[in-house]
Amino acid sequence: MIPYGQQDIQEDDIKAVIDVLRSDYLTQGPAVPKFEDCLKQYCDVEHAVAVNSATSALHVALLSMNVGQGDIVWTSPNTFVASSNAALYCGALIDFVDINPRTFNMCTDALARKLENAAITNQLPKVIIPVHLTGQPCDMKIIHELSQKYKFYVIEDASHAIGGSYSGKKIGNCAYSDITVFSFHPVKIVTTAEGGAALTNNHEFAMRLKLFRSHGITRDPKLMRQQIEGPWYYEQVELGYNYRMTDLQAALGISQMSRIDTFVRKRHIIAQRYNRELDKLPLTCPYQALESYSAYHLYVILLQLNEIKFLSHKKVFALLREKGIMVNLHYIPVHTQPYYQSMGFRWGDFPKAESYYSEAISLPIYPKLTNKEQTHIIKALNEILKK
Ligand SMILES: *Cc1c(COP(=O)(O)O)cnc(C)c1O
């Protein structure tokens, strides 16, 4: 079976993890801050806070902004459930902004309209979480302008997008956002097995991210409220969590970061071949916006279903899987999940995300995908779609 995504682990990665196993610290040692330095340097950003997943990173990002009961958070319906669940963890209200059918990202026209209405009804969001779907950055300049006008915070869910850039700057640079979140799950661009990070140029947010990562406990006298009673003393000043990344994971991350540009370059080569060789088939290859350099976490095709009436989306899926190609679908629109339906969302609420869902297929793309495997995938698509 050819998966849709897979990690690339080399001997250096294995050695890095084993070295930590032989060292004094398996967690709370030197590897985590070193990994954070790696991320800061790569993204050219002031602060990086590593945690145990992107889901945790989103949660602490919202907490660092004091998001709680009564606050409103908006994200894209075309994302993994974690992007919106994080808002629910905080007790906030969640809503969605429909997507642009070309980029699959949050539509900035729809966002502008929704903000205009929300301003009238006094229901403006405190935070907006744009998701860089497939690794292609959202239109951050427009989102940033709107954030200035309507006074909301921006958290980029860049779980797909480390290694990509926007307008000449690395994603994670936070030039147009308050916080950027990465995921290091094995299918993503670089991996720490499980893991995530939150990046920011805001010192206050960085301090609070670290606080919420580790029980709300601080050893920083500046954050304490009472007298320091002795060298053992620490204070819990917030209700935080244990969202720490281990040194084993951080060591793997450091090792992986040394190959990130190679990973992304390979992904581009695979994408370009798909672009060239799928061109004549009844499907749409992914559009790339002008200012974007995608990390190509995913390569999503849209089937032109009116050209292939003898087939259905489901049938194409099944036929590809029969041929050993584990295609996937990113994503089932979040608002159509039973849990979200029980909150009052309905099919039809975000028609562009739903229409995308009825046509999209994620083809395999990852650094270790061989030329021969890609040939097999392209041939299979030709056989299935040409009648
Ligand atoms: C993978 C992913 C997440 C969650 O990442 P974890 O590290 O598994 O918690 C969140 N948002 C998006 C868009 C993702 O793809």
Q: What is the average pLDDT across 143-160?
A: 98
Alpha carbon of 159 to ligand 1 centroid (Å): 5
Return the ∠ at Cα 44 (arms to 39 and 50), rounded to 5°: 25
Measuring from atom 5 of ligand 1, which residue has the nearest CA?
A: 54
**Residues of the chain with pLDDT > 70: what percent?**
100
- Which ranges constitute the DSSP H helices of the chain? 11-21, 31-43, 54-64, 82-89, 108-120, 140-150, 203-213, 247-257, 260-277, 313-322, 338-341, 351-357, 371-385
| Axis-axis angle for helices 247-257, 31-43 (nearest 10) | 30
Alpha carbon of 312 to ligand 1 centroid (Å): 29
- Global pTM reads 0.98
Alpha carbon of 279 to ligand 1 centroid (Å): 30
Ligand 1 pocket member 385 (CB < 6 A): no
pLDDT band per the 50, 70, 90 thresholds, residue 386: confident
Ligand 1 pocket member 200 (CB < 6 A): no
Check residue 279 and give its pLDDT.
Answer: 93
Task: Round the average pLDDT of the chain to a whole number and report it.
Answer: 97
Alpha carbon distance 113, 17 (integer Å) = 49
Ligand 1 pocket member 160 (CB < 6 A): yes
Whether the per-residue pLDDT at 387 is higher than 90: the answer is no
Q: What is the average pLDDT across 323-329?
A: 97
The predicted-structure confidence for 30-45, as pLDDT tens digits, reads as follows 999 999 999 999 999 9
The predicted-structure confidence for 238-267, as pLDDT tens digits, reads as follows 999 999 999 999 999 999 999 999 999 999
The predicted-structure confidence for 167-200, as pLDDT tens digits, reads as follows 999 999 999 999 999 999 999 999 999 999 999 9
Check residue 269 and give its pLDDT.
Answer: 98
Ligand 1 pocket member 62 (CB < 6 A): no
Alpha carbon of 267 to ligand 1 centroid (Å): 19
Q: Please report where in the chains the tokens 């947010």 appear, as a residue.
A: 205
